[in-house]
Structure 1
Amino acid sequence: MSNRVDLDRFRELQRLAYQGAEHVASRLEPGVSERMAAAALRRWLERHGVDDWFHVPFAWFGERTAFRNFRIPTQFLPTGRRLEPGMPYVLDAAPVMDGYVADIGFSGCLGGNAAWTRLDRDLSAHRAHILDLVRRRRTFQDIYRAVDERIKEQGRTNRHQVYPGRVIGHRVDRIRVGGPRLVVFDSFGLRTLRTIGRELVKERLEGRSPLWAGGRASAHPPTPGLWAVEPHLGTEDGTVGAKFEELLVVTEDDAFWLDDDLPHVHRWRAA
C-alpha cells in the first residue's frame, strides 16, 4: 500500500492529467480529428512534466465513443474521424511522471446532445456503487457482474467489456525509473509493459490478478493498492458512449476514491 506522500504524488499527476484533458476539450471544434486531439493532449502533458507513458493519449469521437464494431486492438488507436456539432467525445490518457502513474478518462459532448446527457447521468450512479461494493469486500468478479447488471437495468450496454481482457479496471503501481522510455505498438510505454508482466506473474502466484474483469481470475476480494477503474457505458443503438476513469485506493479494510476534486464529480454534483 502506498504511503501518504506517494498518494499525494499520484493525486497530483491525476489532477494534471485531467487539467490537460479539460484544456484540450475546451479547444475542440468541428473539424478536429481524433489524431489531432490525442496529439494535442500528449504535447500539453509533456510540456507540463510528463516523462513517460503507461499508454499514450487516445481520442474517440461519435459512435467510436461506444466502441461500435471494434474487433481488433488497432481500432482503439485515434483515427482521422472529425468532430461535428452535437457529437460525443472521450479523451483517455495514462501519463507517467517520476515513476508515478495516472490513468484518466474524460467524456464530453460538442454542444447539446440529449442522449449523451442521459447517458452521463446514468454513468454517475456507478461511482458510488462501485465504492460501496469494494468496501463490502465483495470479490472483484462479483463487483464486475453487479456493475454489469446495473448497466442492463439502466437500459445501457457494457462497453468496457470490449477492452482487451474485458477489464473494468487494472492495478496501478509505480513504474521503475531507468531503462529506455519507448512507446511500443503506438500505445504503451515499454517500462509499463515490463511492469505489467512482473505484476501478472506475481499476482497469479498468489491467486490474484492485476486485471479486474468478470472471470475466475478476479474471483477474490479487492487487493490492497491503487486501481484505475473505468466503467464505460453505451446507448443500446451503439451511437453514444461515456466513461470515467480514476484511481481507487483499496486498503486492508476500506476503500476510497483518491480524489473528489475531478471534473466529472463536479459536473454530477452540479446536476
Structure 2
Amino acid sequence: MSHSAVVDAAELARFRELQQLAYEAAQSVGEGLEPGVTERQAARRIREYLVARGVQDWFHTPFAWFGDRTAFRRFKVPLQFFPTNRRLAEGMPFILDCAPVRDGYVADIGYAGCLGENRVFERLMDDLGAYRQLIVEQVRAGNTLRDIYGAVDALISEQGYDNRHQVYPGRVIAHQVGKVHSRLPTFMVGGFGIRSLQTLFGDLLVERMHHRSPLWADGEISNHPATPGMWAVEPHIGFRGVGVKFEEILVVTTDGDAYWLDDDLPHVRRWSGKVATA
C-alpha cells in the first residue's frame, strides 16, 4: 500500500527507533521494580536509562504512577501528575510514561504493568486492546477527532469503565508530535522541555489559524478529521482504583489513511499472543 506521507520513510524510521527505545526503557525499569520502590525512584531509573542511550532532552520528564494513582484518583491540579514518594507493594498496578527527545526526534509512550497478581489489572489490559483497533478504524473512516473521542467514551461506558484521559490537562486523548526545531537551550519548565513547548505552541498557533488544534480532545476545536502527520495517542481507562493505558504514535497520511507506527510493542505483543492462543 502506498501512503501519501507528510513524514518520509527515513524520518519515520528514526521516530520508530526512538519509540522502541522509550518502550525498552519502560519495560526494563518496570520488570525491575521491587516492593518499596517509590514513583520518584522509578522515574529516575527511566531517565538514567535513556540518558545513557543518547537522549538529550524531553517533551516531558518521565512519570510513574503506582496503585490508585494509575487511575488519577482525586487528581485536581497538574502538580499531582508528578512522581511522588508513593511506594510500590505486591499486587499494585503501575504506569510508566516517558517522552524522550534525541536528535530532534520525539517519542511519547505509556507502559502499564503490575507487581505480581491483580485480576482487575489483567482484565483492563485485555480490554484495552479494543481501543487501538477502534481509533485507527475511525481515523481511516474520516470521522472527526471529536466524534472519535465520543466513540472511545461509548466503548468505555459499554465496558463499564471510567475515562481517565479526561483528567489530563485539556482532557486530551492525543497530541501531535513532530521534530523539535528550536535554538533555545535545553531547559525544563513545569516538567516539559522548553524546546518541545516552543514547537508545540508554534504548531498550536498555525493549527488555530486553520481552525484546528494539535491537541485532540472532545471540544469544538477537535471537530475536524485527523490532521496528517503523527499523533501520540493515549486512551486511558480505569476501574476500582486501577488504571491502564498505552501511548504510541499513530501516523495519518495526506490521503486519509492511518496506521500505527510500530506493531512490535509490549502491549501489542500481549494482545496478539492472546489472539493466537484463543
TM-score tier (shorter): over 0.9
Q: Please, what TM-score do these two structures have when normalized by structure 1? A: 0.98
The one-letter code matched in structure 1 to 2:103 is: D
- Whether contact under 8 Å (1:98, 1:177) holds in the other structure is no
1:215-265 residue CA offsets vs partner (Å, 9 max, x unmatched): 000000111000000000000x3x100000000000122000000000000
1:250 and 2:252 correspond? yes
1:105 and 2:110 correspond? yes
RMSD over equivalenced CA pairs, Å: 0.7
1:162 and 2:144 correspond? no
Shift of 1:213: 0.3
1:60-112 residue CA offsets vs partner (Å, 9 max, x unmatched): 00000000000000000000000000000000000000000000000000011
The one-letter code matched in structure 2 to 1:249 is: V
Give the equivalent residue in structure 2 for 1:269: 272
Question: Using the alignment, how far apart are the partners of 1:200 and 1:222 within structure 2?
Answer: 14
- Whether contact under 8 Å (1:249, 1:257) holds in the other structure is yes
The one-letter code matched in structure 2 to 1:49 is: G
Question: Using the alignment, how far apart are the partners of 2:174 and 2:139 within structure 1?
Answer: 13
Question: In the alignment, which of 27, 38, 42 is matched to residue 37 of structure 1?
Answer: 42
Question: Using the alignment, how far apart are the partners of 2:245 and 2:217 within structure 1?
Answer: 16
Equivalences for 1:217-228 in 2 at 5 Å?
Answer: 217-228=221-232
Shift of 1:177: 4.8
Question: Using the alignment, how far apart are the partners of 1:177 and 1:193 within structure 2?
Answer: 10
- Whether contact under 8 Å (1:54, 1:95) holds in the other structure is yes
Give the equivalent residue in structure 2 for 1:201: 205
Question: Using the alignment, how far apart are the partners of 1:209 and 1:250 within structure 2?
Answer: 15
Shift of 1:122: 1.1
Question: Using the alignment, how far apart are the partners of 1:145 and 1:131 within structure 2?
Answer: 14
Question: Using the alignment, how far apart are the partners of 1:265 and 1:205 within structure 2?
Answer: 37
1:94 and 2:99 correspond? yes
Runs (5+) with no aligned partner, structure 1:
none
Shift of 1:197: 1.0
Give the equivalent residue in structure 2 for 1:128: 133
- Helix, strand or coil for the counterpart of 1:170? strand
**Percent identity between the aligned chains?**
58
Shift of 1:47: 0.4
- Helix, strand or coil for the counterpart of 2:75? coil
Give the equivalent residue in structure 1 for 2:152: 147
Question: How many pairs align?
Answer: 268
- Helix, strand or coil for the counterpart of 1:121? helix
The one-letter code matched in structure 2 to 1:257 is: W
* Stretches of 4+ aligned residues off by more than 2 angstroms: none
- Whether contact under 8 Å (1:13, 1:101) holds in the other structure is yes
Q: Please, what TM-score do these two structures have when normalized by structure 2? A: 0.95
- Whether contact under 8 Å (2:64, 2:97) holds in the other structure is yes
Equivalences for 1:206-217 in 2 at 5 Å?
Answer: 206-217=210-221
Shift of 1:270: 1.4
Shift of 1:58: 0.1
Shift of 1:26: 1.3
- Helix, strand or coil for the counterpart of 2:95? strand
- Whether contact under 8 Å (2:182, 2:198) holds in the other structure is no
Give the equivalent residue in structure 2 for 1:79: 84
Runs (5+) with no aligned partner, structure 2:
1-5
